[in-house]
């Protein structure tokens, strides 16, 4: 159920102040230490950020898609590593359970996810399965009241802190593609589950990804999400929502970069005047503003359609494609506007330039989004 307008505005204002007053001042510290401080994470829990998309009956805020998008835009104004702390709880780590879980599964896990006591991860990507998500090779063999999982997952966000994984595994090796894949809720403490060391990354220091290995992990049958063979459907529906969330974060980062460019260009002087007075600087700002406005309109339109019950697989993919490519261009222009100051670490522009590069890769690369958009457009006949 959507929030009333006053409550929605209060929530957005609270998040905006938290971003401005608590998160942005410590961005450099988080990047240097590769960690978000524990006290900040506790504040995130207190604000309900871990449960944005969890139904109210399970302790979450129960935001609809439009509300979640508006909050995500505000969160995008700080380094993306902050959002990543709870991003899997809001999106891909919890939504399979929200959409496909039975009453017992929801009652067992969702309250802890909403409070932040439980951190979730979505384990789909493998060494030979990423963009080709139907090529999952991790095996789940039925053995009485259990499934025995064997395999490895790669680049799994928040795996180091996760206590619950949504795992895609092949239950029927005779069925090629997504039809042989099922989804499972796998607690971290099950014997045989191990998590590798965090990977060194180009950007988003403070957010961590790991390999996850399953060596004869026995998962109770009641931990399966939906029916056997529905895992690919679970993954795709989860990604529809996740792609809209990521697109909204891209809009927020772009808006932050544009504001930084305007402030810097208004102060920085060359040839005796602020560089904001030069038309070629203005052109970069104008292009960035126009693209950010277009992305925001696209994301909000798709979110409203999803809330109205429409299938938004095409619109979610288009939003993610356009917004993630857009913020890359905006970040590149920001480095150019800042000049030498944009290339050194003091101003944080080079950090954001590196941070936003991943948006064109995770939750479906730009090329996968193009394939989805084309396929869905052909289905619809134009």
- Tokens linked to 173: 């090796």
Strand duo 181-187 + 146-157: pairing: unpaired
Please give the torsion angle defined by the CA atoms of residues 323, 350, 358 and 71, in that order, rounded to the nearest 10 degrees.
-50
Backbone angles phi, psi at 153, to 5 degrees: -115, 155
**Distance of alpha carbon 92 from alpha carbon 74, whole angstroms:** 20
376 catalytic residue (yes or no): no
Q: How far is CA 20 from CA 16, 31, 78, 90, 108, in A?
A: 6, 17, 8, 21, 35
Nearest CA-CA partner of 283 in 325, 336, 326, 327: 336
Judge whether 151 and 137 are in contact, CB under 8 Å. yes
- Catalytic hit among 291, 325, 363, 376: 363
Strand duo 164-170 + 120-123: pairing: parallel
Judge whether 69 and 76 are in contact, CB under 8 Å. no
Q: Point out the residues that are catalytic.
A: 363
């Amino acid at each position: 159920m959507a929030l009333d307008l006053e409550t929605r505005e209060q929530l957005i204002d609270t998040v905006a102040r938290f971003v401005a007053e608590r998160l942005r001042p410590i961005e450099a510290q988080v990047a240097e230490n590769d960690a978000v401080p524990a006290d900040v994470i506790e504040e995130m829990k207190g604000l309900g950020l871990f449960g944005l998309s969890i139904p109210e009956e399970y302790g979450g805020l129960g935001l609809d898609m439009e509300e979640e998008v508006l909050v995500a835009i505000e969160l995008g104004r700080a380094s993306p590593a902050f959002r990543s702390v709870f991003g899997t709880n809001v999106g891909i780590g919890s939504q399979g359970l929200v959409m496909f879980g039975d009453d017992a599964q929801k009652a067992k896990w969702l309250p802890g996810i909403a409070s932040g006591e439980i951190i979730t991860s979505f384990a789909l990507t493998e060494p030979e399965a990423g963009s080709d998500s139907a090529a999952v090779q991790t095996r789940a063999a039925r053995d009485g009241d259990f499934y025995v999982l064997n395999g490895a997952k790669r680049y799994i966000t928040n795996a180091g802190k996760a206590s619950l994984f949504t795992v895609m595994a092949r239950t029927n090796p005779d069925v090629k593609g997504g039809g042989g894949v099922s989804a499972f809720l796998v607690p971290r403490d099950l014997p045989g589950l191990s998590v590798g060391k965090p990977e060194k990354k180009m950007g988003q220091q403070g957010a961590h990804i790991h390999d996850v290995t399953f060596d004869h992990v026995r998962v109770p049958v009641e931990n399966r999400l939906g029916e056997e063979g529905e895992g690919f459907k679970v993954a795709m529906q989860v990604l529809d929502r996740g792609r809209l969330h990521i697109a909204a974060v891209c809009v927020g980062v772009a808006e932050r970069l544009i504001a930084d460019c305007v402030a810097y260009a208004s102060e920085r002087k060359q040839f005796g005047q602020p560089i904001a007075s030069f038309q070629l600087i203005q052109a970069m700002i104008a292009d960035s503003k126009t693209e950010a406005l277009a992305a925001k309109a696209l994301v909000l339109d798709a979110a409203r359609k999803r809330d109205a019950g429409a299938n938004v697989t095409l619109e979610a993919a288009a939003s993610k494609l356009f917004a993630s490519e857009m913020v890359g261009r905006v970040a590149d222009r920001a480095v150019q506007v800042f000049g030498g100051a944009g290339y050194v670490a003091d101003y944080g522009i080079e950090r954001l330039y590196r941070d936003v590069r991943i948006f064109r890769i995770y939750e479906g690369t730009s090329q996968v989004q193009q394939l989805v958009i084309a396929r869905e457009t052909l289905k619809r006949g134009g």
